[in-house]
Amino acid sequence: MLFLFTKLFSIQAQVNQILTEISPLSILSKNGKGSVYLKVSKSSDYILTLDKSSNSDFVFKIYDISNKKYITDKIKSKDFKIRLDQNSLYAIIYVGSKNENIKFSLTDLDFSILSGDFLKAKTSKIEKEDSFFTLKDLPVLNLTSKLKKYVLRIYKSNIYIAYQLENSDDIKVAEFIEDVGWFNLDSSVNGNIINIVNFDFSINSKGNLYIAFVTKSGSDFASELVVKKFNSRKWIDISPGYIENFGSLLNMSIDLKDRLYLTYLREIEGEYKINLISNMGYGNIWTDVIHSYLSKGNSNVNSSNIGLISEPFLGIFYNYKSNNEIKSEFIVNKENAWVNANIPSVYMANFIKGFFDSNFNQIIMSFVSENRPIVSICPLKSNRWINISPNVKMEGSSIDIGLYKNNLFLAFEDNNDVRLIYFKNKNWYFLNKLEHFKGNVTSPQIGIYGNQGLVVSTLSSNSNELFFTLVCR
């Protein structure tokens, strides 16, 4: 067997067969033997977990490529604890059955504990400190029926909610003004346009409001991409006038010069292309920023959104389906061409959000994958992604992040509650030591409320009330 393992190591692992702590790896072992690479972003104790499609015998060893030595004996257990160094590259060398599906995953024990007979990351490893924030409840936004989708945006100390109710095509925008209350702007954004499948909402530095949405195609008509701007009295159309076979996903972003960017999907002869167009913020003149990017697979997947950043460069984070697996990719504009940004691929990223932290000159990216909140940062000087995720298991689907006084806040659903934690000095902490920030609510979103603090919005369990809490120091 030792000879077999030694011989196996001469088999090079595929370049894309790299297991990391935030990116599980699934493979098909056609001949029953092989190897995959293993790399972690921080030195820690980990649990290596293997799930197989059969109950047949399976043996593996781990080889430290950097130091040219085996660091384990033969392992047969499903879950194995091991110390891994961030400066080393490892190989998992395995022998099993032919044509077997194998899934490898890593759990960081710095953020996890053992529970019963199985391994599960728990929030009990998030710490508590004697640092308190002031919490203030703002007026509730009462809705006439159940909410289907909403987007929170804040301009200075004015709060805006773009929302769509169930069983209605109308997109409406409500505004909250301090000492005045909530009121709707105009009747609806879309007017008589129906069959809306998705929308996004953004505000520029002057307080101008923009809504973009895409309609569903039918047997007698193509789908349509519509963009509208609010001119203080009504919504005016600044659409590019495209009527094509659009996908259901789109996203908007506005750069520091108030240029509006819009990314969307377009299907052409069975292939999906990711498009990015821009507008000066007024008029109907839209330009292609860069040529369309051909997705690595079918990118019209059932994800919540596409991720888009416009500062300090243009970047798009999207999902695609390939070989019956849903993967992700982050591409950025480099010398007027799309290139891969080398963030590890994950399975079906949802609630994708990315932004530029100018104080520390870094990109911050967050999303949900396999019921875990994932947060990564990339300092521009290093061009390397660092995983800072609170390795916790969520019983919910949505998250959001926001930056306030150099503390990164993360709100996420967990079993009909919302938890709010913040990242400081390489640790995650519960806000005010509260393991449950708010009960019987879902769908948290975060916005910065001028110089006063940040606002966390949540949706009631009956989906017809939006709550708002101001968090400040």
pLDDT at position 120? 34
Residue 37 located in a structural domain: yes
pLDDT tens for the 473 residues of the chain, in order: 444 444 444 445 444 578 887 677 888 888 888 889 999 877 888 888 888 777 778 888 999 998 999 999 888 877 788 899 988 999 999 888 888 888 888 876 654 332 223 333 334 468 888 889 999 999 999 999 999 999 999 999 899 999 999 999 999 999 998 888 999 998 899 999 999 999 999 999 999 999 999 998 776 666 899 999 999 889 999 999 887 778 889 999 999 999 999 999 888 877 888 999 999 999 999 999 998 998 888 887 888 899 999 999 999 999 998 888 888 999 999 989 999 888 878 889 999 999 999 988 999 999 999 889 999 999 888 778 888 898 788 988 899 999 998 899 999 999 999 999 999 888 899 999 999 999 999 999 999 998 889 999 999 999 999 999 999 98
Q: What are phi and psi of 431, to 5 degrees?
A: -65, 125
Token reading at 94: 């395995």
Note whether 147 and 163 are within 8 A (CB).
yes
**Cα–Cα dist 90/39, whole Å:** 6
The CA distances from residue 167 to 79, 126, 161, 451, in Å, are 47, 40, 19, 38
Long-range contacts of 186-190 (CB under 8 A, 24+ apart): 186/230, 186/233, 186/234, 186/235, 189/162, 189/213, 189/228, 189/235, 190/226, 190/228
Residue 46 located in a structural domain: yes
CATH number at residue 56: 2.60.120.380
- Cα 364–305–413 angle (5° rounding)? 70
Residue 117 located in a structural domain: no
Note whether 79 and 47 are within 8 A (CB).
yes
- Whether this prediction's pTM lies above 0.75 is answered by yes
DSSP string, 442-454: EEEEEEEETTTEE
Please, which residues have CB within 8 angstroms of residue 398's CB and are 6 or more apart in sequence?
304, 350, 351, 368, 412, 413, 442, 443, 444
Residue 464 located in a structural domain: no
The CA distances from residue 257 to 261, 289, 312, in Å, are 11, 15, 12
- Cα 194–199–205 angle (5° rounding)? 130
Instruction: Tally the domains of the chain.
Output: 1
- Nearest-CA neighbor of 209 among 244, 157, 174, 167? 174
Residue 95 located in a structural domain: yes
**Cα–Cα dist 81/45, whole Å:** 7
pLDDT at position 461? 95
Note whether 273 and 292 are within 8 A (CB).
yes
Residue 321 located in a structural domain: no
pLDDT at position 109? 62
Structural domain that includes position 83 = 2-110
**Cα–Cα dist 286/248, whole Å:** 20
CB atoms within 10 A of CB 353: 21
pLDDT at position 390? 87
Residue 473 located in a structural domain: no
Note whether 343 and 376 are within 8 A (CB).
yes
Residue 298 located in a structural domain: no
Please, which residues have CB within 8 angstroms of residue 277's CB and are 6 or more apart in sequence?
240, 261, 262, 286, 287, 288, 289
